[in-house]
Amino acid sequence: MYAIKTKNGLLNGFYANDLPTTKRLYFNESNEKLEPKFTMRNMMNCTGGYMMFDKPEEAEHYISYIISEVENSRERYELSLQGSTDKILSIVSKFSIITI
């Protein structure tokens, strides 16, 4: 069996319909606005279990699916927080597949 390892633990779910923001605000110097701070907390579940795959190719396919969903949501994510799509893709690209 295989699982997807993230920076925060083993992936139990990815929710592309949520937005990469939080209630905390910060001052974005590039556009001189207060904006929500970037987080994927609502988009990724890494607690209470993990997704299992029979083959590593299935896990790789799921990571490709996540990347596709993020790319398809680029406009919506960017409206929520400028630059967030590339941050998400950077995080997802660091996912690894482990044997469990």
Domain range for 51: 2-99
pLDDT of residue 43: 87
- 89 falls in which pLDDT band (50, 70, 90)? very high
Q: What is the pTM of this model?
A: 0.82
Domain count, the chain: 1
pLDDT of residue 8: 86
pLDDT of residue 51: 92
Is the pLDDT assigned to residue 94 strictly greater than 90?
A: yes
- Residue pLDDT, tens place only, 22-75: 777 888 888 888 877 778 878 888 887 899 999 999 999 999 999 999 999 999
pLDDT of residue 25: 81
Token couple for 96: 């690894």
Spatial neighbors of 24 by CB under 8 A, at least 6 apart, are 36, 37
